[in-house]
Amino acid sequence: MANNSVIILAAGKGTRMKSSRPKVLHEISGFPMLYYTIKDAQKLSDDITVVLFHQSKLVQETMEKYFEGINYVIQDHQNYPGTGGAVMNIDVKHEKVLVLNGDMPLIEADELEKFSQIDADIVMSVIKMDDSSGYGRVVIDGDEVVKIVEEKDATDDEKAIKTVNAGIYLFKRDILERYLPKLSNDNAQEEYYLTDVVELAKNDGYKVAPLYVKEENFKGVNSKYDLSCAEEIMQRRIKKNFMLSGVTMHLPDTIYIHSDVEIEGESVIEHGVTLLHGSKIINSHIKANSVIEDSKIVDSSVGPIARIRPKSELYDTHIGNFVEVKKSILKGVKAGHLSYLGDCEIDEGSNIGAGTITCNYDGKNKYKTIIGKNVFVGSDTQLVAPVVIEDDVLIAAGTTVNKDVKKGSLAISRTNLKTVEGFFDKFFKE
Ligand code: UD1
Ligand code: MG
C-alpha cells in the first residue's frame, strides 16, 4: 500500500463529546485518538494529510510532538462544511487516496491493507449491524454499492437497511477530482457529503466495491461513552498481546496499561495494577494495586500498593507496600514498607527501614540522596538532602541525617528516653 496517499478527516467539532477539547484529542490508553490513526497511516503511506478546522492549532501542535512529515490543511468549513468539503482541494501525491476518520482509533494497518487488494474505482468499508441507527445506510446491488443515504435523509425503507457505511474509503484520485466539484449541499444537514461521490461515480458506470469489516475495528467515537468502549477494546488487545508473549496477568480486566508500555520476560502483573507512559517491566512481579509511570523495572518485585513515579529505575530490588519512589535508581535494594524515596541513588545490599523519608525538597529546589552499598537505614529515618551515605553504614532508627556519613560508621541522632514510674495511675486514676 506504500503508493497510496492518506487523508485523515479531523475537522469536525465533535459536539456530542460535550467537551471544550477537540474530539480527536480525547485520549484512550494514554494517547489522543488521532495519534493512533496517524501512527497506523504512517505504516502504509509517505503522503499523509490531516484535515483540521476546530481548534486546528492545538490539534496540529499536539500531533507535531509525536510525528514529523505530516501535512495539515484547514477545511473551508464556512463555505464547504461536511465530509465532502473536508477532502476538497487537497493535493495528493499518489493515484489512490485512502480516506480515514480521526475518530476511529481502533483500526490497524493490516485492516487497511485489505482496501488495496480489491480492484475497483472506489472501495468502501461496510458493516452489517443489528442496530444501524446513526450511520449512513448503504444500498447494495449484487457485489456493488449503489449509494449511501445519511440517516437524516433516509426514507423509512432505507432506514431499515442493516448494512452501514463505516466511513473509510479508498478512492482513485481522479474520481475525487471529477466528483468533488459536483457535490451539492441540498440535503437535511446542508453539508457536502463525501458519501455522495459514491452515487455520482456509480451513475457514470464506475465500480464501487464494498469491503465488509468488523465493528470492533471500525468503531467510531462520537461520545464519551463511545470513548470508554473504544478504550476497553484497545485495553483487551494490549493485554492479550502481552499474555500471548508470556506475561502472566491476574484478572486482566482490572489492569490498565498505556499503549506504549513494554513488558518482557516472565513478568507477573497482579490485579488492579496501572502501568503508565514509558514504563518498561522486565522479568518482574508487580503486585496488586501498584502504579508505575515512566520507569524501568528489571528483575524486581513491586507492591502491593506501591507507587513508582517517573524516571525511576529498579534493578534486582524489592519494593513493598506504601512505598513511593520518584526519579531514583535502586540496585539490589530492599524497601519493604512505608517510605518516600525521591531523587536518590541506592546501591546493592542496602535495606531501607519502614518510614524512611528522603527530604529532597526545601521548598525551592530538589536535592539528591546518595546511599552506598550495604547500608542499613533504620526505621523512621529522615535523610535531609543533599546527603551522601557511604558504604557499610548503620543508621539507627529515628535518626535525622543532615550531613554526610563516612564508610563503616554508625549514625545516630536521638534524645535520651526519660521514664517516670507510677505516672499512669497518678494521671488517670487520682
Ligand atoms: C459519516 C458518514 C456516514 C458514516 C459515518 C461512519 C458522511 C456524510 N457520513 O457520518 O455515512 O456511516 O461517518 O462513522 O460522510 N469531518 C470533517 N469535516 C466536516 C465534518 C466532519 O473533517 O465538515 C470529519 C470528522 O472530524 C470525523 C469524520 O469527518 O472525523 C466523520 O464526521 P462525522 O460528523 O462523525 O460523520 P457522521 O455523521 O458520523
Ligand atoms: Mg462519526
Per-residue pLDDT of the chain (430 residues; tens, 9 = 90+): 558 999 999 998 889 999 999 999 999 999 999 999 999 999 999 999 999 999 999 999 999 999 999 999 999 999 999 999 999 999 999 999 999 999 999 998 889 999 999 999 999 999 999 999 889 999 998 888 999 999 999 999 999 999 999 999 999 999 999 999 999 999 999 999 999 999 999 999 999 999 999 988 998 899 999 999 999 999 999 999 999 999 999 999 999 999 999 999 999 999 999 999 999 999 999 999 999 999 999 999 999 999 999 999 999 999 999 999 999 999 999 999 999 999 999 999 999 999 999 999 999 999 999 999 999 999 999 999 999 999 999 999 999 999 999 999 999 998 999 999 999 999 999 7
Tell how far the Cα of 71 is from the centroid of ligand 1, in angstroms: 20
Domains belonging to the chain, first-starting first, are 4-212 (3.90.550.10), 224-411 (2.160.10.10)
Residues with catalytic roles? 337
Cβ–Cβ < 8 Å for 76, 84: no
Cβ–Cβ < 8 Å for 173, 95: yes
Cβ–Cβ < 8 Å for 242, 249: yes
Cβ–Cβ < 8 Å for 367, 383: no
Nearest ligand to the CA of 7 is 1
CA distance 199 to 146: 6
Tell how far the Cα of 103 is from the centroid of ligand 1, in angstroms: 9
Best residue for ligand 1 mutational test, from 26, 36, 83 (most atoms within 8 Å of Cβ): 83
pTM of the prediction?
0.93
Q: Which protein residue has the closest C-alpha to ligand 1 atom 19?
A: 82
pLDDT value for 2: 53
User: Locate cell 494497518: which residue?
Assistant: 109
Tell how far the Cα of 178 is from the centroid of ligand 2, in angstroms: 25
Cβ–Cβ < 8 Å for 307, 301: no
Q: Return the ligand 1 atom nearest residue 102 CA.
A: 30
pLDDT value for 193: 96
Beta strands in 372-422 (DSSP E): 376-377, 382-384, 387-389, 394-395, 400-401, 410-411
SS3 breakdown of the chain: % helix, strand, coil, rounded to 5?
25, 30, 45
CA distances 229 to 118, 125, 135, Å, are 30, 21, 17
CA distance 165 to 124: 8
Of 416, 395, 418, 417, the C-alpha closest to 405 is: 395
| Pocket (CB within 6 angstroms of ligand 1) | 9-12, 51, 75, 77, 81-83, 85-86, 101-103, 135-136, 148, 150, 164-167, 193-195, 220
Q: Return the ligand 1 atom nearest residue 52 CA.
A: 22
